Amino acid sequence: MNMEVEMAAPALDLEARAHGDHPHALRLWLRMLTCTQLIEKSVRTQLRAQFNTTLPRFDLMAQLERSPEGLRMNELSRRLMVTGGNVTGITDQLEAEGLVERVDVPGDRRAWRVRLTHAGQANFRAMAQAHEGWIVSAFDALDAAEINDLHRLLGQVKSRLNTSTESP
């Protein structure tokens, strides 16, 4: 995959922070963070180059694609983990470009939902297909069994993290 990194590569290598006497979990964490940041940076670069768009726009459209009936702004904000202000700005942009539209919420005159237009659906499908290819490419150092192992191990980590999060 072609990754245009705007800075010298070593800056992204958080593993450089880990000394040999650190617990293995810390070295694992810094490696995981480095991989995540490298992949995310590559996705941002390619979204920009191939679709002239940004990751927040892509993420917002991805949420709408999963909810064909549309989403209220507060629900959209919650799902996107960003401030309501950011979501409003991006939504306004996408609306001006004809990719999303606002629809009334029956029974609530002061509320509306945002949903993808047909043009937005087509645009998102093209981006999602390309995105899938970038991600497959990002992990092409691993064979199917290794991808499976990694998925399984991270599943154990995630289950424990979710359990910790849910407990008071």
State the nearest-atom distance from the C-beta of 148 to a copy of itself, in Å: 7
Per CB under 8 A, 17 contacts a copy of itself:
yes
Quote the crossing angle between the two packed helices 55-66 and 73-80, to the nearest 10°: 120
Q: Helix or strand or coil: residue 102? A: strand
* Binding of residue 23 to a copy of itself (CB under 8 A): yes
| Min separation Cβ 49 and a copy of itself, Å | 14
DSSP state of 82: S
Q: Binding a copy of itself by CB under 8 A: which of 49, 105, 119, 153? A: 153
Place of tokens 């245009």: 4
Give residue for tokens 């499976």. 148
Spatial CB neighbours of 10, under 8 Å, sequence gap ≥ 6: 16
The secondary structure element, H or E, covering residue 71 is strand 71-72
SS3 (DSSP) at 30: helix
Which stretch, 18-26, 47-55, 90-98, 103-111, contacts a copy of itself (CB under 8 A)? 18-26
* CA 108 – CA 112 distance, rounded (Å): 8
Please, what is the minimum distance in Å from the beta carbon of residue 96 to a copy of itself? Answer: 25
Question: By rule CB under 8 A, what count of residues binds a copy of itself?
Answer: 65
31 near a copy of itself, judged by CB under 8 A: yes
The footprint of a copy of itself (CB under 8 A) covers 1-3, 5, 7-9, 11-12, 16-17, 22-29, 31-40, 42, 62, 66, 78-82, 132, 135-136, 138-142, 144, 146-151, 153-162, 164-166
